A and B are shown apart, each in its own frame.
Chain A
Amino acid sequence: AQSVTQPDARVTVSEGASLQLRCKYSYSATPYLFWYVQYPRQGLQLLLKYYSGDPVVQGVNSFEAEFSKSNSSFHLQKASVHWSDSAVYFCALSMGTGGYKVVFGSGTRLLVSP
């Protein structure tokens, strides 16, 4: 069965510093991968997604992620964080685009300190 692991429950970085949030997946074929963000008292919103092609995908608000099949990873990165990036970030996996179920990791809470 497919699964997603986010090993860091909490990450704290200083404003202006770079960021990497880790995501490892388990799936025998090439998955469809997503990063979502959840701001306080809101639902989740899509940051970016990967299906195929260039392993580095760009998303909203200058986030990007890199897919690595050899490492079964899909890490989220940002060059310079802002205090408004403080939120919970979820990595997710789907086996396809035709209504396949989407499996989520446990999330990483990001705190950006001034």
Chain B
Amino acid sequence: EAAVTQSPRNKVTVTGGNVTLSCRQTNSHNYMYWYRQDTGHGLRLIHYSYGAGNLQIGDVPDGYKATRTTQEDFFLLLELASPSQTSLYFCASSDSVSGNTLYFGEGSRLIVV
């Protein structure tokens, strides 16, 4: 069974604070993704990665950094959090064998006050 684990599941931070969202996949997948989900927008791609050390820019990257340290681990960094980054964040993994089917974590809810 594919597994993607996100932490923390819930986070509250203040404006200007630093936040790191973590994602670990045990699927042996090459590709990993960070999305944010907001009402009316569906899921929007922030960053994605083809493998350790690789980073690709998504559709809404402003204010976010990401780093893929290993095949398993993909981190999303908010260095100066703003209220507009209040959202539900999802990590996903995929590979060519699965036909680019995305396997999602359960999400990390971030509130920036």
Give residues in A with beta carbon < 8 Å to B: 6, 9, 32, 34, 36, 41-46, 49, 51, 90, 92, 94, 96-107
Contacts and interface: CB of A to CB of B under 8 A. Distances in A.
B90 interface: yes
A103 B45 CA distance: 7
Contacts of A98: 96, 100
B100 A94 contact: yes
Nearest to A106: B42
B64 to A, nearest CB: 15
B69 to A, nearest CB: 18
Contacts of A102: 33, 45, 94, 100, 102
Interface stretch (B11-19, B78-86, B103-111): B103-111
A9 B42 CA distance: 10
Interface residues on B, range: 20 to 34
A90 B42 contact: yes
Interface in B10-44: 30-31, 33, 35, 40-44
A107 B42 contact: yes
Contacts of B42: 6, 90, 104-107
A106 to B, nearest CB: 4
B48 interface: yes
B88 to A, nearest CB: 10
Contacts of A6: 42
A90 B40 CA distance: 12
B99 A44 contact: no
B90 A43 contact: yes
B43 to A, nearest CB: 4
B45 A51 contact: no
Contact of B41 (A34, A41, A106): A106
A99 B96 contact: yes
B104 A51 contact: no
A97 B100 contact: yes
